[in-house]
Chains A and B, each alone.
Chain A
Amino acid sequence: EVQLVESGGGLIQRGGSLRLSCAASGFTFGHHSMNWVRQVPGQGLEWVSYISGSGTTIYYADSVKGRFTISRDNAKASLHLQLTGLRDEDTAVYYCARRPLSSSSFDYWGQGTLVIVSS
């Protein structure tokens, strides 16, 4: 069974840093590209970042480029998102999501981890 479990969220001061993790199981992690998607409570979904299976191709949403860093450890089947320079508008639930092979959809999602940026 495919499982994605996020961790690392919490309350952080404006301007601070945080590292989110996503532990994957039930599939060959290195074969799949992965994404981070966030959702401000009560609002819609916002794509944040993409990383290819090998980790060599990375994309970011304009709203986080230069502040967030996506990475992965295929040996440990884990995905990470380093958040720096946090702003109030970064407050959201952060989901990791898997892309199926040869597809741009997101077929499995974690349950999310909540990041609250406080002044």
Chain B
Amino acid sequence: SYVLTQPPSVSVAPGQTARITCGGDNIGAKGVHWYLQRPGQAPVLVISYNTDRPSGIPERFSGSNSGNTATLTITRVEAGDEADYYCHVWDGNSEHSVFGSGTKVTVL
């Protein structure tokens, strides 16, 4: 089955840029979605299909996807961005949705 690999953690100072990667075999050919999840809350969609921001998501959140790596970028990081972040794809071969293992973003 398709596997998505994320780093367990990323630390970033306020005002700096956080980059969260999601690795997968030829993931550039897939549409990657990103979610943030704060403690005790449900996930929230922040990027769909690699680069699309849903209504209400700040422009500080952006995405890219090429080759074997998709990336979620958060610019001008704020304390409120501290959360777990998950990448997600639909794998048509297996007809399964697949989530990455998640990355904990810590704002220093």
Contacts and interface: CB of A to CB of B under 8 A. Distances in A.
Contacts of A109: 42-44
Interface residues of B, number: 26
B31 A104 contact: yes
A91 interface: no
Main secondary structure of the interface of A (DSSP, over half): loop
Interface of B: 1, 31, 33, 35, 37, 41-45, 48-49, 54, 84, 86, 88-90, 95-102
Given A35-B97, A97-B43, A104-B31, 19 more contacts: A37-B43, A44-B84, A44-B100, A44-B101, A45-B43, A45-B102, A47-B96, A47-B97, A62-B96, A95-B42, A104-B97, A105-B31, A106-B88, A109-B43, A109-B44, A110-B42, A111-B41, A111-B42, A112-B42
